[in-house]
Amino acid sequence: MKKLIAIVLVLVGLVLVSGIRGNANTAIDVATNGGVPKDPAASLSQAELVEINQLWEGSAHALADINCSSCHQDSDTKELVVKPTQESCQSCHELAVETFLYGKHGIRISEGLSPLTPAMAHLAMKESAIDNQMNCNSCHNVHSVDTWQASVDSCLTCHNDTHSLNYQNSKHAQLFADQGTLPRPNGESVTCASCHLPRQELENTENTIVVVNHNNTFTLKPRDRMVKEVCMNCHSVEYSYNSIFDDELVEENFSQPPTLKLETFDLVRAFEKKRLSNAEE
């Protein structure tokens, strides 16, 4: 199967390099004109094709037998799609794309507008990424679909605010680094995605499946939603609330234990002490 995919990649590359006219942004009729874009930016060298094949061979897509045609062939017309959109991803990752379109990263696409770019953001962004368009491929390498990269590195490609940059100095970052020999981040890894794109369990009639909520604003407002969805997977409720409502600690990306002590928990302890005292009388 892998040899067949390699042959297909070589053939596609030869067609692309041949430079027959086509629109690099739309589906192209392979049957009538060979289906290749003339745009040099869309042409691939033999070395690039080999690299793409190597990335794919080590990916979860390869393990699941998701090959070139799964993304680069229109399911209805069977035409070649040079640059697949999130609709291609959605054919398999329905919930991931659906939640992505609810968040700030994807909401413009869901409204029929041009994709979000860092230039539109209120937070500090890196100048080198200012014109990047937010879509599935912004965070996931299109051929390796590397979840390690999407967990932190992809975020720091654009984000240049203090909270994001301070992640590298946090205990969470150390936990993530300690898991570096694993094939993908697990439940003990704490990354940008762990908090802002949390994993959620969904039950169906047969079993429980785990999905990643790609709505990047889901755990931000109200703020204590992150406590329930994320923090309490590891920390106590008091520790979590004291941390998430400590603005300075949030800015530092939780580099140390919280110093804030919310009065709420003192009141709860006093109430419980009084309740137990009354019960003994």
Q: Other C-beta atoms within 10 Å of 244: how many?
A: 23
**pLDDT for residue 24:** 34
Average pLDDT over residues 78-99: 90
Predicted confidence (pLDDT) per residue in 155-171, tens digit: 999 999 999 999 999 98
Does the pLDDT at position 82 exceed 90?
Answer: no
Could you tell me which residues come within 8 angstroms of residue 134 by beta carbon, excluding any fewer than 6 positions away? 105, 106, 108, 109, 115, 116, 117
pLDDT at res. 145: 82
**Per-residue tokens: 29:** 């009729």
- Which H, E and C letters describe the chain, residue by residue? CHHHHHHHHHHHHHHHHHCCCCCCCCEECHHHHCCCCCCHHHCCCHHHHHHHHHHHHCCHHHHCCCCHHHHHECCCCCCEECCCCHHHHHCCCHHHHHHHCCCCCCHHHHCCCCCCCHHHCCCCECHHHCCCCCCHHHHCCCCCCCHHHHHHHHHHHHECCHHHHHHHHCHHHHHHHHCCCCCCCCCCCCCHHHHHCCEEEEECCCCEEEEECCCCCCCCCCCCHHHHHCHHHCCCHHHHHHHHCCHHHHHCCCCCCCCCCCHHHHHHHHHHHHHHHHHHC
User: What are 101's two structure tokens?
Assistant: 């379109």
Would you place residue 144 in the very low, low, confident or very high pLDDT band (cuts 50, 70, 90)? confident
pLDDT digits (tens, 9 = 90+) for 167-188: 999 989 988 888 765 555 566 7
Structure confidence at residue 14 (pLDDT): 43
CB 115 within 8 A of CB 109: yes
pTM of this prediction exceeds 0.85: no
**Which residues sit opposite 73 in a β-bridge?**
80
Q: Which of 98, 97, 93, 84 is nearest to 64 (CA)?
A: 93
Do 217 and 104 form a contact (C-beta atoms < 8 A)? yes
Q: Calculate mean pLDDT across residues 267-278.
A: 91
Q: How far is CA 190 from CA 86, 118, 159, 210, in A?
A: 26, 24, 18, 17
Instruction: Give dist(CA 254, CA 227) in Å, integer.
Output: 14
256 with 245: CB under 8 angstroms?
Answer: no
Q: Which residues pair with 199 in a beta bridge?
A: 212
Using a CB cutoff of 8 Å and minimum separation of 24, what contacts does 87-93 make? 89/136, 92/66
203-259 pLDDT, tens digit each:
765 777 888 999 999 999 898 999 999 999 999 999 999 999 999 999 999 999 999
Angle at Cα 153 formed by Cα 147 and Cα 158, nearest 5°? 125
| Buried residues in 171-205 as b, exposed as e (16+ CB within 10 A) | ebbeebeebeeeeebeeebbbbbbbbbbeeeeeee
